[in-house]
């Protein structure tokens, strides 16, 4: 007995129809909950379906209906906390609505890669895309061109974009973090930013700067990291080597904050006695950092749900407006910050 998928003939509408002596169309009606079926007939058909263990062939259905109930998620950096979190919740929301998810995780966020990803499953009759596009150089117009007439929603699109997108207001989050330090009396505040080709990094950086300036404080030095713990460590070492004096440090994400705290400690700076540190993301580890990290919480679950909801609207309702739906992060105060 071979284990190779043998060409076992699946049971079809016709088989069911024959089995209970109706036409295949009637069976189709029962399967699709068409009301124009006599009660007694429906009963008979349903029993036959169960007896024969009939499963509608979704491929054949797709061929005629021109829709697949498939959503493709194209993401970048799927191994990181944020994206992984989003994907999980997008999947959950999609499945609840009867859609399955095709996942494509690209390794370089360029238009070419996106194009290749979309191309690689063109012809699958994908109903819609969710694009996690956190880096610059991937704009709405280009994407619209690539996606053709298939609706899509962007996550992590540039703020204020006219593209259909769902975002968390990064500027607001960074303002929250920075203002928190200001409120604690800090006047010398530096930053470890994310890679500046990410929208989020730019937004957080600019907002850090503007919040300080609004409080008539000259921004301290800002050093660029790469989102990783080691990146944060190295960036902080560079910052310290520059001789800059500061009492507050705003870090682009929690992982880098972890590295930053390590670097600070190695330079015999205590947290929060000497330096207050605030992160971004609120990863599950943050609460157990040494000390527990004050950070900005982002609701990735809501983000994922919203994206799916919006996409389904775009797919199924004419004239859903193209807009940017904005969620707001919140500050979580822990022990890595204190009054100066």
| Site residues (CB under 8 A) for its own copies, limited to 113-132 | 120-125, 127
What tokens does 219 get?
Answer: 């921004």
Which member of 42, 265, 297, 325 binds its own copies (CB under 8 A)?
Answer: 265
Say how many residues touch its own copies, by CB under 8 A: 71
Residues from 190 through 229 that contact its own copies (CB under 8 A): 228-229
Give the pairing of strands 189-193 and 222-224: parallel
Query: In angstroms, rounded to a whole number, what is the distance separating the alpha carbons of residues 37 and 170?
Result: 54
Tokens 């404080």 locate to 217
Q: From the CB of 64, what's the least distance to DNA, in Å?
A: 4
Which CB sits closer to its own copies, 3 or 245? 3
Q: Could you say which of its own copies, DNA, none residue 284 binds, taking C-beta under 5 to 8 angstroms by partner kind? A: its own copies
253 forms part of the interface with its own copies (CB under 8 A) = no
Report residue 22 CA to chain centroid gap. 48
Residue 68 zone, left/alpha/beta (φ > 0; ψ -120 to 50; rest): alpha
Please, are residues 117 and 141 in contact by the beta-carbon 8 Å criterion?
A: no
Name the E strands within the chain.
70-76, 100-106, 128-132, 152-155, 165-168, 189-193, 222-224, 248-251, 276-278, 295-297, 324-327, 330-332
Residue 235 within binding range of its own copies, rule CB under 8 A: no
Q: Which among its own copies, DNA, none contacts residue 259 (Cβ within 5 to 8 A by kind)?
A: its own copies
CA–CA gap between residue 101 and residue 155 (Å, rounded): 16
Segment near its own copies (CB under 8 A); pick from 42-50, 129-137, 255-263, 274-282 = 255-263
β-pairing, 330-332 vs 324-327, is unpaired
Contact letters for DNA, residues 21-50 (x by CB under 7 A): xxxxxx-xx-xx--xxxxxxx---------
**Rg, C-alpha atoms of the chain:** 26
Interface positions, 15-34, toward its own copies (CB under 8 A): none
**What's the closest the beta carbon of residue 125 comes to DNA, in angstroms?**
9
315 forms part of the interface with DNA (CB under 7 A) = no
- Enumerate residues 64-123 that contact DNA by CB under 7 A: 64-65
Which span (87-95, 216-224, 273-281, 325-333) binds its own copies, by CB under 8 A? 87-95
Residue pair 279/253 in contact (Cβ under 8 Å)? The answer is yes
Q: Which residues bind DNA (CB under 7 A)?
A: 9-10, 12-14, 21-26, 28-29, 31-32, 35-41, 54-57, 60-61, 63-65
């Amino acid at each position: 007995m071979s284990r190779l998928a043998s060409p076992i003939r699946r049971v079809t509408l016709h088989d069911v129809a024959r089995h209970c002596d109706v036409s295949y169309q009637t069976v189709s009606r029962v399967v699709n909950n068409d009301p124009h079926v006599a009660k007694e007939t429906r009963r008979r058909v349903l029993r036959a379906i169960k007896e024969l263990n009939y499963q509608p062939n979704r491929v054949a259905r797709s061929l005629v209906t021109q829709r697949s109930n498939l959503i493709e998620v194209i993401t970048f950096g799927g191994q990181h906390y944020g994206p992984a979190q989003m994907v999980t919740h997008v999947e959950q929301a999609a499945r609840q609505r009867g859609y399955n998810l095709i996942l494509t995780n690209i390794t370089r966020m360029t238009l070419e890669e996106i194009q290749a990803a979309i191309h690689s499953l063109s012809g699958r009759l994908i109903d819609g895309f969710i694009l996690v596009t956190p880096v610059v150089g991937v704009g709405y117009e280009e994407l619209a061109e690539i996606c053709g007439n298939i609706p899509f929603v962007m996550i992590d699109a540039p703020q204020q974009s006219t593209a259909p997108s769902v975002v968390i207001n990064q500027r607001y989050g960074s303002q929250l973090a920075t203002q928190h330090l200001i409120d604690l009396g800090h006047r010398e505040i530096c930053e470890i930013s994310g890679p500046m080709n990410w929208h989020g990094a730019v937004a957080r950086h600019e907002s850090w700067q503007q919040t300080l300036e609004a409080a008539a404080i000259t921004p301290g030095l800002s050093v660029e990291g790469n989102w990783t713990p080691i990146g944060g460590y190295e960036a902080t070492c560079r910052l310290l080597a520059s001789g800059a004096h500061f009492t507050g440090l705003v870090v682009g994400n929690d992982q880098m904050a972890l590295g930053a705290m390590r670097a600070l400690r190695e330079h015999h700076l205590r947290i929060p006695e000497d330096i207050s540190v605030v992160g971004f993301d609120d990863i599950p580890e943050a609460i157990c950092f040494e000390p527990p990290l004050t950070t900005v919480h982002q609701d990735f679950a809501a983000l994922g749900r919203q994206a799916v909801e919006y996409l389904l609207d775009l797919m199924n309702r004419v004239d859903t407006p193209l807009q940017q739906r904005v969620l707001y992060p919140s500050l979580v105060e822990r022990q890595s910050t204190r009054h100066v």
